Amino acid sequence: MILSNSIELTFPTRVIYGLDSVNRIGDICKDITDKIFIVTNGTLTRKIGLLQKVESLLENSDVDYILYDDIKRDMHPDSIDEIGTLINQSRVKLILAVGSSSAINTAKAAAYIAKNEGKIIEYINGRIGKNEAVKLVTIPTIPGVLEALNDSFVVKDYNDKRKKFFNSSSLFPVVTILDPKITLTIPINYTVGSGFAILSNAIESYISKASNAISDALALRAIEFIGKNLKAVFLAKNDLEARSNIMMSYILTSLSLLTSKLGVCEAMALALSSRDNIYQNIAHAIMLPYVMEFNLTAVPNKYLHIARALGENITNITVVEAAIKAIEGVRKLLFDLKVPQKLSDFKVKKENLSVIASSAQQYPFVNYSSTTISKEDIYNILTTAY
């Protein structure tokens, strides 16, 4: 096989996956330092009992901690700067991020600004720091939090209402604990939304212009895990095997994206969640089949494999018919799991679609779409999804 693009694969994170793996957090932190800074959305992690458990495990391992438990969705950059200052003043060598994507995102941004001068708003707008971030350990509560296994964070710039990325190799967590039991305590709608975000990310990785043999193998297996297990989680909320497989699909997708890239669905989800405050995971779920329709003719053979992975019967039909089955498979899953399939079902304003399209077009992900895509194309997809 001749590669048109080089592949560079770096993954320094130690991943600990399995039932009750969270019980190892005390020893893991103790091996690094005896004083840490915890960042968490306390309302959620206390309600499900996770924060109390983590605190007890740390205390049993003689690990002291400073707790910041007031994380909210889309934290303001000024608040992130304040947390970074607290971390810097505490002189800790390790941050433990526990909770949702908001908690992990905020922890990573604060870990970076704690060691670099200036404000976080400067870094999401192009500034590069000289120092590495404070070391991070992550315990995600929802199985689709990409930030728990990658080298970036996203912060909303409230000046132009856009979520913006910052990347640094020092932002890879040193350890990520993935315990499927934790997801039993999370409301099912969050788990379903997370599952569709994983599915969207896996499909975009698989059909991306940056895809390769490594990313394809991982992404296709992730799609298969979602297809076989997400409905099972919805129907039987205590199905630990299915939940474990959903979490495994997240690991596979994250690994796939180390060598591939996301596409226009990610760009649209970011733009929608930035402008009209729709949850990003739900935006992924709604937009995925419409984006797949747009890209269908570019990679029909890959869609055939997606259809098969989703459990669709593609016997004795053409490649194009099989490709259509892939989109139908996603739509059936959305219907079976009672996920609305139109933007109009949420508080998305139709008059904002043009601005949302412009915002989406500015994300670099659009450059990896299977089909070259313009702002007008994005607007038309959004309009169809409305």
Distance CA 324, CA 213 (A): 24
pLDDT band at 10 (very low <50, low <70, confident <90, very high): confident
Q: What is the CATH number of the domain that holds 136?
A: 3.40.50.1970
> Within 13 Å and on the Cβ side, how many CA atoms surround 118?
15
Q: Give the per-residue pLDDT at 8.
A: 78
Mean pLDDT along residues 52-64: 97
Q: Is 110 helix (H, G, I), strand (E, B) or coil?
A: helix
Q: What is the CATH number of the domain that holds 299?
A: 1.20.1090.10
Does one domain contain both 301 and 358? yes
Q: Which of 118, 153, 182 is the last residue of a domain?
A: 182
Looking at every residue in the chain, the average pLDDT score rounds to 93
Does one domain contain both 158 and 204? no
Tell me what percent of the residues of the chain surpass a pLDDT of 90.
83
Does one domain contain both 139 and 281? no
Q: Give the per-residue pLDDT at 33.
A: 96
pLDDT band at 5 (very low <50, low <70, confident <90, very high): low
pTM (2 decimals)? 0.93
Q: Which of 182, 197, 213 is the last residue of a domain?
A: 182
Going by the DSSP 8-state scheme, the letter that residue 14 receives in this structure is: E
Q: What residue type is assigned to position 369 of the chain?
A: S
Does residue 9 fall inside a structural domain? Answer: no
Does residue 254 fall inside a structural domain? Answer: yes
Does residue 214 fall inside a structural domain? Answer: yes
Per-residue pLDDT at 251 exceeds 70? yes
- What's the pLDDT tens digit per position in 61-88? 999 999 999 998 889 999 999 999 999 9
Q: Give the per-residue pLDDT at 1.
A: 38
Per-residue pLDDT at 346 exceeds 90? no
Pairing of strands 152-157, 162-167: antiparallel
Does one domain contain both 328 and 275? yes
Does one domain contain both 253 and 311? yes
Does one domain contain both 64 and 205? no
Distance CA 54, CA 42 (A): 12
Q: Give the per-residue pLDDT at 349.
A: 86
- Secondary structure E strands in 92-157: 94-99, 135-140, 152-157
Does one domain contain both 165 and 220? no
Evaluate whether 16 touches 178 at the Cβ level (below 8 Å): yes
- If you write DSSP's letter for every residue of 268-332 in order, what string do you get? HHHHHHHHS---HHHHHHHHHHHHHHHHGGG-HHHHHHHHHHTT---TT--HHHHHHHHHHHHHH
Does one domain contain both 140 and 40? yes
What radius of gyration, in Å, describes the C-alpha atoms of the chain?
20
Does residue 163 fall inside a structural domain? Answer: yes
Does residue 131 fall inside a structural domain? Answer: yes
Does residue 3 fall inside a structural domain? Answer: no
Q: How many distinct structural domains can be found in the chain?
A: 2
338: left (phi over 0), alpha (psi -120 to 50) or beta: left
Q: What residue type is assigned to position 125 of the chain?
A: N
What phi and psi values does residue 294 have, to the nearest 5 degrees? Answer: -65, -35
Q: Give the per-residue pLDDT at 187.
A: 85
Does residue 2 fall inside a structural domain? Answer: no
Does one domain contain both 239 and 380? yes
Does residue 6 fall inside a structural domain? Answer: no
Per-residue pLDDT at 2 exceeds 60? no
* Token pair belonging to 156: 């909303």
Does one domain contain both 130 and 57? yes
Does one domain contain both 198 and 337? yes
The H or E element spanning position 103 is helix 101-113
Q: Write out the residue range of the structural domain in which residue 357 sits.
A: 187-385
Q: Which of 167, 182, 197 is the last residue of a domain?
A: 182
Higher pLDDT, 4 or 239: 239
Distance CA 30, CA 12 (A): 19
Mean pLDDT along residues 355-373: 95
Q: Give the per-residue pLDDT at 127.
A: 95
Least confident residue range of 132-141, 149-158, 197-206, 269-278: 269-278
Does one domain contain both 83 and 221? no
- What's the pLDDT tens digit per position in 269-308? 999 998 877 889 999 999 999 999 999 999 999 999 999 9
Mean pLDDT along residues 241-260: 95
Q: Give the per-residue pLDDT at 342.
A: 93
Which residue pairs, CB below 8 angstroms and at least 24 apart, start in 369-377? 369/208, 369/209, 369/263, 369/264, 369/295, 370/207, 370/208, 370/209, 370/263, 370/295, 370/298, 370/299, 371/294, 371/295, 371/297, 371/298, 373/264, 373/294, 377/294
